[in-house]
């Protein structure tokens, strides 16, 4: 595979509402982001991906767009965005915008006109008459991904519209060429302004099977087999790809739930690929069944198997998009790691995924070890999907209220959305006003400022790991993945072997147990050099809880 900047990049994800408030209204904004560009740059990252900044009623915090051409006034203006864009470019960082085109907000002008039957917009969305004698039965049995019905009746139009997410997020009809032209216009607008590419939200859902047939009778996400991916996905993606290709060096990342490496390669392999990479989900299922709400004990063996699958199948062909956190996932230390060994496990998880082949993504606050919030009551949650999942679970009548609350505490996306903890002053330095959302009380111990000056902090560990990944790009980014001790329940040991002969050996005890280091040590070559570790001193006979070490071995000479 040829060497490309987007394969080597490390991307920092900003979820704007909770990143930094610059004007004291309690809501993160572009002014706050501008203040922190030097900080982002200091991590050693090459690009920033902004979760949606567009005008939106915020039912799904920006993933419900009401105006694709304007910045959400709570975040600032288009000029403020331009200042951030220029500021990032001046610091040598690229900027990736979120592009949400599977659906819009129901407050978008297109939807309002479509509902009113305006001939120009009539087919912009997926409308169907009701079924049954009274015409009020759903057009099919599909369910939304945010659990609940997939259809909503619209009185004005006298028809149902499809929404695969919240009721306020009607799905666009990409089968309508006029809709695709709108998408292209939007893309060109931001590309002309200078953005470097898009992260395309649930992009694999944009094409729905003709006739919208009923789905398998599943209790959730029913109908998915008819749109994930749909029949015309590649065709539509090709059109959007052609737009991006009108510009130099821009990039497209696609969010792809349920994706397998084999299917991913249909979209991301070779010169004629329609996306540069895809965000898979499987590796986020090592402690659950499909979604984090259906919790299972964390299984390192499962995780290793998934990584092995993606790393080996994409090798030399496609680029992995490596992440362990984002705005949709609870904090990783609270899932795959341990709050008791917060920084040890945070550094171990950082080590685990930094040296995997592919591009690297770091979510705001991940670098300092932010953890889940200790929720006490339903009022503490704000995410639309938390409430729809709660409703579905209540309807099933299998779980007690206490159990549902416990599930939410562990699994809710809200966990990722607490304000970034900048320092130990009031509101973690996020705002001088009243924060729009609860600040995790652990900010007193877990914050950027405290970690800046501590050479052993998780923040500085991330900086080091990010730099090492680049320094040893041959092995770390392009190398062949070689998994050892596949069946071991606590040890994650792998090599990455570069074409230039460099071999990296990654050894991690991903558990709270103290283990013998004998099995792992076998894989450290003689004369190798340790380049990263989260415990001081050399490796001993024991591997302590979450002990992580990386060695560099030169196979050829040195
Ligand atoms: C995926 C996004 O990451 C998530 O935050 C959003 O709720 C859904 N897509 C719907 O846009």
Instruction: Give the three-state DSSP class for 295.
Output: strand
Tokens 């590649």 — which residue? 234
The Cα 228–Cα 259 span in angstroms is: 9
Best probe residue, ligand 1, of 51, 254, 328 (max atoms within 8 Å of C-beta): 328
Question: Would 7-101+177-208+219-460 and 478-554 be classified into the same CATH topology?
Answer: no
Q: How many CA atoms lie within 13 A of 277 on its CB side?
A: 26
Report residue 554's pLDDT band, with 50, 70 and 90 as the boundaries.
confident
* CB 314 less than 6 A from any atom of ligand 1: no
Helices (H), 299-341: 300-314
- Own/partner contacts of 179-187, CB < 8 Å, gap of 24 or more, are 179/123, 179/124, 180/236, 180/239, 180/240, 182/110, 182/124, 183/101, 183/240, 184/239, 184/240, 184/243, 186/68, 186/69, 186/99, 186/101, 187/99, 187/240, 187/243, 187/244
* CB 146 less than 6 A from any atom of ligand 1: no
pLDDT tens, residue by residue, 133-190: 999 999 999 999 998 999 999 999 999 999 999 999 999 999 999 999 999 999 999 9
Q: Is 201 a catalytic residue?
A: yes
- Name the packing angle between helices 261-268 and 233-245 (round to 10°): 40
pLDDT tens, residue by residue, 103-131: 999 999 999 999 999 999 999 999 999 99
Phi-psi region of 61 (alpha: psi -120 to 50; beta: other; left: phi over 0): left
pLDDT at 558: 47
Tokens 């288009």 — which residue? 78
Given the residues 8, 29, 80, 255, select the one marked as catalytic: 255
Residue 165 CA, closest ligand 1 atom number: 10
Mean pLDDT, rounded, of the chain: 97
**Nearest C-alpha neighbor of 492 from the set 290, 280, 332, 308:** 308
Query: Would you list the DSSP string of 186-203?
Result: HHHHHHHHT--EEEETTG
- Whether residue 463 contacts residue 456, with contact meaning beta carbons closer than 8 Å, is answered with no
- Whether residue 251 contacts residue 96, with contact meaning beta carbons closer than 8 Å, is answered with yes
202 Cα–ligand 1 center, Å:
7
- Whether residue 65 contacts residue 100, with contact meaning beta carbons closer than 8 Å, is answered with yes
Helices (H), 194-260: 233-245
Sign of CA dihedral 32, 65, 256, 317: negative
Every domain of the chain and the residues it spans: 7-101+177-208+219-460, 478-554
Maximum distance among all Cα pairs of the chain, rounded to whole angstroms: 80
Cβ–Cβ contacts within 10 Å for residue 87, how many? 19
Task: Please give the share of the chain, as a percent, with pLDDT higher than 90.
Answer: 95
pLDDT beyond 50 at 328: yes
* CB 165 less than 6 A from any atom of ligand 1: yes
534 Cα–ligand 1 center, Å:
34
pLDDT at 556: 56
pLDDT beyond 50 at 557: no
- Whether residue 221 contacts residue 164, with contact meaning beta carbons closer than 8 Å, is answered with no
State mean pLDDT over 94-106: 98
**Which two tokens mark 521?**
């040590």
Query: Would you list the DSSP string of 390-427?
Result: HHHHHHHT-S-HHHHHHHHHHH-GGGGGSPP---SSGG
- Whether residue 411 contacts residue 295, with contact meaning beta carbons closer than 8 Å, is answered with yes
The Cα 414–Cα 431 span in angstroms is: 19
Provide the β-strand partners of residue 293: none
pLDDT tens, residue by residue, 216-274: 998 888 999 999 999 999 999 999 999 999 999 999 999 999 999 999 999 999 999 99
Q: How many CA atoms lie within 13 A of 36 on its CB side?
A: 27
Report residue 290's pLDDT band, with 50, 70 and 90 as the boundaries.
confident
Best probe residue, ligand 1, of 104, 105, 201 (max atoms within 8 Å of C-beta): 201
Q: What is the pTM of this model?
A: 0.98
Report residue 555's pLDDT band, with 50, 70 and 90 as the boundaries.
low
- Whether residue 446 contacts residue 342, with contact meaning beta carbons closer than 8 Å, is answered with yes
Q: Is 182 a catalytic residue?
A: no
Report residue 405's pLDDT band, with 50, 70 and 90 as the boundaries.
very high
| Fold of the CATH domain 7-101+177-208+219-460 | TIM Barrel (3.20.20)
- The CATH class, in words, for 478-554 is mainly beta
């Amino acid at each position: 595979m040829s060497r490309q900047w987007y394969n080597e990049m490390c991307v920092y994800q900003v979820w704007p509402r909770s990143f930094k408030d610059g004007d004291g209204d309690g809501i993160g904004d572009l002014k706050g982001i501008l203040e922190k560009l030097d900080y982002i740059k200091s991590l050693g990252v090459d690009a920033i991906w902004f979760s949606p900044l567009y005008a939106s009623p915020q039912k799904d915090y920006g993933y419900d767009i009401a105006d694709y051409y304007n910045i959400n006034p709570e975040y600032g203006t288009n000029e403020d965005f331009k200042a951030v864009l220029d500021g990032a470019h001046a610091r040598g960082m690229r900027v990736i915008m979120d592009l949400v085109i599977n659906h819009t907000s129901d407050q978008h002008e297109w939807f309002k006109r479509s509902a009113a039957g305006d001939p120009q917009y009539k087919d912009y969305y997926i409308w169907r008459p009701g079924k049954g004698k009274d015409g009020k039965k759903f057009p099919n049995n599909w369910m939304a991904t945010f659990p609940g019905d997939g259809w909503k009746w619209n009185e004005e139009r006298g028809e149902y519209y499809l929404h695969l997410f919240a009721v306020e997020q009607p799905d666009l009809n990409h089968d309508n060429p006029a809709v695709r032209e709108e998408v292209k216009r939007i893309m060109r607008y931001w590309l002309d302004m200078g953005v470097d590419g898009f992260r395309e939200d649930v992009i694999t859902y944009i094409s729905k099977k003709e006739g919208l047939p009923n789905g398998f009778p599943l209790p959730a996400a029913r109908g998915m087999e008819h749109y994930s991916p749909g029949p015309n996905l590649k065709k539509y993606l090709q059109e959007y790809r052609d737009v991006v290709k009108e510009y130099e060096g821009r990039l497209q990342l696609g969010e792809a739930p349920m994706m397998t490496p084999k299917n991913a390669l249909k979209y991301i392999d070779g010169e004629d690929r329609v996306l540069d990479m895809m965000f898979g989900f499987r590796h986020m299922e090592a402690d659950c069944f499909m979604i984090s709400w259906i919790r299972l004990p964390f299984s390192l063996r499962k995780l290793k198997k998934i990584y092995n699958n993606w790393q080996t199948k994409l090798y030399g062909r496609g680029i992995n998009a490596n992440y362990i956190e984002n705005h949709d996932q609870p904090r990783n230390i609270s899932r795959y790691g341990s709050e008791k060994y917060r920084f040890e496990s945070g550094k171990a998880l950082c080590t685990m995924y930094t040296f995997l082949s592919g591009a690297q993504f770091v979510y705001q606050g991940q670098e300092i070890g932010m953890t889940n919030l200790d929720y006490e009551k339903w009022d503490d949650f704000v995410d639309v999907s938390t409430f729809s999942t709660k409703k579905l679970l209540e309807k099933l009548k299998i779980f007690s209220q206490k159990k549902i609350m416990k599930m939410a505490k562990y699994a809710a996306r809200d966990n990722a959305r607490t304000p970034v903890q900048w320092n130990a002053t009031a509101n973690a330095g996020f705002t001088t006003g009243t924060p729009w959302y609860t600040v995790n009380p652990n900010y007193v111990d877990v914050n950027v400022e405290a970690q800046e000056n501590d050479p052993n902090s998780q923040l500085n560990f991330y900086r080091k790991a990010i730099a090492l990944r680049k320094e040893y790009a041959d092995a770390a980014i392009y190398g062949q993945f070689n998994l050892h001790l596949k069946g071991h329940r606590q040890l994650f040991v792998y090599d990455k072997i570069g074409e230039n002969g460099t071999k990296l050996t990654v050894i991690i005890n991903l558990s709270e147990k103290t283990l013998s280091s004998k099995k792992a040590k076998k894989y450290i070559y003689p004369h190798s050099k340790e380049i990263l570790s989260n415990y001081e001193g050399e490796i001993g006979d024991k591997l302590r809880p979450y002990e992580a070490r990386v060695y560099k071995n030169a196979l050829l000479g040195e």
